Amino acid sequence: MRLLIMGPQGVGKGTQAALLAEHYGIPAISTGDIFRYNIKNKTPLGLEAMSYTDKGELVPDSLTNTIVKDRLAMDDAKDGWILDGYPRNASQVEALDQMLAELGTPLDAVVALDADHDVLMERMAKRAAEQGRADDTPEAIATRLATYARETAPLLDIYRDRGQLVAIDGVGEIDAIQANIVKALDAKVA
């Protein structure tokens, strides 16, 4: 199974991606993890990414696309994957479509988790307190949620129009949310 998991920060994408990866026996792939792996191992792609991140710049879409394609082509992803954190904009959707066509691996579904803005703010504040994350100030959280709403949320319409979207309420018990996702995916992809 090849899945995207999308939703605003704090909705539980990483948690659900890990549970789904275990359930389906496929890797959960986070673009953040891909970057950290390539940078840590000083791969050519990682060194190129560092040339941007070391200056505090965003890694351009072209490099992000290359790193994602490289990761999806690895042996452990041959039978499927869950991609978290990509695509983030319309040009990345086009790039993903092209790379999946080249790899001969069509996308099965897109899981979209959602929660009320106040719930997300509360979760992120709790995470900041528990993990001591200085980057999770109320202002920074609000900015990231606004960026998601402006740039990434509109992508859900693309996948809805393609009949690939599985919308799931991200509020509730973790196991219940996972059960809802699995039930919806099994019905859609069966």
Each residue's pLDDT tens digit, 84-135: 989 989 999 999 999 999 989 999 999 999 999 889 888 888 888 887 766 6
> How is the chain split into domains, by residue range?
2-189
143-152 per-position pLDDT tens digit? 888 888 998 9
- Answer yes or no: 42 catalytic: no
> Is 92 marked as a binding-site residue?
yes
Q: Is 86 annotated as a binding residue?
A: yes
pLDDT digits (tens, 9 = 90+) for 9-63: 889 999 999 999 999 999 999 988 888 888 899 999 889 988 887 887 778 899 9
88 a catalytic residue:
yes
CATH 3.40.50.300 corresponds to the domain 2-189: yes
- The catalytic position among 78, 126, 133, 150 is 133
71 appears as a binding residue in the annotation: no
144 among known catalytic residues: yes
Query: Is 160 an active-site residue?
Result: no
More confident residue, 2 or 70: 2
- Spatial separation of the C-alpha atoms in residues 158 and 177, rounded to whole Å: 24
With a cut of 80, say whether residue 136 has pLDDT above it.
no
C-alpha dihedral sign at 42, 46, 50, 56: negative
Annotated binding residue 11: yes
Write out pLDDT tens, residues 84-93. 989 989 999 9
Q: Which one, of 63, 65, 62, 61, lies nearest residue 49 by Cα?
A: 63
Q: What's the pLDDT at 62?
A: 92
User: Which residue in 69, 144, 160, 188 is the catalytic one?
Assistant: 144
Catalytic residue status for 133: yes
